[in-house]
């Protein structure tokens, strides 16, 4: 008897989902029906959204269209927004209809977590998607251009809530561009102000003290005010109310960015799959225990090793995607697959503008231009993995010196 064609459905085209699709495209030679569904026509590097938000990276360069890198003979791409997961019926529901599967790979990404703080959803900008970053770009551009008419200093006061990677990279990118913005718009450089608020004692808590102090010094040299050990109580229009050492303070600014933390997808959170804040606990093979034909990658997965839960990163998501592609190839070809997922942490770099940064690469501290160069190398390595040298030449980050 002819074997029934297996249906593999990948929902979400981020770092993890795209890697599954491309891995199967390259390795699998059978006749399974492989489908990738994403709400956008394009993939974008979330690790570069801070550049898009400041306007130092164009939206055109940031977009990588799925149909340009997926072979329709091997992987079908469907643009649709998934609304509901029905794991007991082996199907998902989108705006465009129902999609059945034999194996489901969930890679629906993250959404900002407001932690129940009043005003976050109403009064802040988020760096959660390319469109959200472009909205922020327009806001900053308009505030500077219109200052000649408004004369309102609060329009040039920016508050960044969160001192992790996203918040610090955005803060630094903006701070390095302020001289240029003020010159172009004829604004006194003393007027713009950036305040960064964090709950931790120091910024970038994943790094050691040496790197943290270097990063803080660099930001302070750029004129950034860092408010550490501060708890955000409420956000109102044009201000953030914080508590620090038992005292309540009000920080004023007409542009407020929320980067204090993320959670998994709402679609996962509202599904019957057991999860915590939209994130599903998976086993050593990235499999959902309650529904063994469902695998999870990226921000929707809680993956642990040696009692440590890995923080969701692009690097982790990409490695998960590669692993799932390998596992599914073996499964579709009825081969044994005993390998478990093991995260190989190669390092992390936080950029401080285009020509500076701090980080750890293969367990060694890197700073300054070398860190900026390594950050670009990491981004280019991702592009190479999804589209080869052509993709790197078209979309890559080459310059580590500013062009101003």
Catalytic residue set: 169
**Cα 360 to Cα 74: distance, rounded to the nearest angstrom:** 38
Which string of b and e fits 85-113 if b means at least 16 CB within 10 Å? bebeebbbbbeeeebebbbbbbbbbbbbb
**Cα 109 to Cα 131: distance, rounded to the nearest angstrom:** 15
Q: Which helix (DSSP H) or strand (DSSP E) does residue 393 occupy?
A: helix 368-395
Whose CA is closest to 69, among 133, 110, 120, 25? Answer: 25
Provide the β-strand partners of residue 282.
Answer: 288
**Cα 366 to Cα 377: distance, rounded to the nearest angstrom:** 13
Mention every residue, 6+ apart, whose C-beta is less than 8 A from residue 385. Answer: 19, 22, 318
**Cα 393 to Cα 54: distance, rounded to the nearest angstrom:** 23
Provide the β-strand partners of residue 93.
Answer: 84, 98
Whose CA is closest to 88, among 328, 290, 277, 266? Answer: 290
Q: In sequence order, which ranges of 230-308 are alpha helices (DSSP H)?
A: 266-269
**Cα 189 to Cα 155: distance, rounded to the nearest angstrom:** 14
Residue 232 phi/psi, 5-degree rounding, is -80, 125
Whose CA is closest to 255, among 193, 163, 184? Answer: 193
């Amino acid at each position: 008897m002819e074997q029934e064609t297996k249906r593999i459905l990948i929902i979400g085209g981020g770092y993890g989902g795209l890697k599954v699709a491309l891995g199967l495209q390259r390795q699998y030679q059978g006749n399974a029906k492989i489908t990738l569904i994403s709400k956008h026509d394009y993939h974008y590097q979330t690790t570069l959204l801070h550049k898009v938000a400041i306007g130092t990276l164009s939206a055109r360069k940031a977009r990588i269209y799925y149909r340009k890198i997926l072979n329709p003979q091997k992987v079908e791409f469907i643009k649709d927004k998934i609304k509901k997961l029905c794991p007991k019926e082996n199907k998902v529901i989108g705006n465009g209809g129902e999609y059945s599967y034999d194996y489901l790979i969930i890679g629906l990404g993250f959404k900002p977590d407001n932690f129940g703080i009043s005003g976050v959803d109403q009064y802040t900008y988020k760096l959660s998607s390319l469109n959200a970053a472009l909205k922020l770009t327009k806001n900053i551009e308009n505030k500077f251009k219109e200052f000649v008419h408004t004369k309102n200093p609060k329009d040039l006061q920016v508050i960044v809530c969160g001192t992790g990677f996203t918040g610090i990279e955005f803060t630094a990118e903006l701070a390095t561009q302020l001289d240029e913005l003020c010159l172009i718009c004829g604004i006194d450089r003393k007027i713009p102000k950036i305040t960064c608020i964090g709950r931790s004692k120091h910024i970038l808590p994943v790094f050691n003290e040496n790197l943290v102090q270097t990063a803080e010094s660099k930001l302070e040299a750029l004129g950034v005010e860092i408010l550490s050990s501060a708890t955000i109580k409420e956000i109102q229009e044009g201000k953030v109310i914080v508590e620090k050492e038992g005292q309540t303070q009000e920080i004023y600014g007409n542009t407020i960015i929320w980067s204090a933390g993320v959670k998994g997808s709402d679609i996962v959170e509202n599904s019957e799959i057991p999860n915590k804040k939209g994130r599903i606990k998976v086993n050593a093979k990235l499999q959902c225990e309650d529904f063994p034909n469902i695998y999870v990658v990226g921000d929707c997965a809680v993956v642990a090793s040696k009692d440590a839960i890995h923080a969701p990163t692009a690097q982790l998501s990409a490695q998960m995607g590669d692993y799932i592609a390998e596992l599914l190839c073996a499964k579709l070809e009825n081969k044994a697959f005993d390998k478990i997922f093991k995260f190989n942490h190669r390092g992390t770099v936080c950029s401080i503008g285009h020509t500076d940064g701090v980080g750890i690469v293969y367990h060694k501290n890197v700073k300054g231009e070398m860190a900026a160069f390594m950050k670009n190398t990491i981004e280019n390595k991702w592009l190479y993995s999804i589209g080869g040298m052509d993709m790197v030449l078209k979309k890559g980050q080459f310059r580590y010196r500013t062009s101003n």
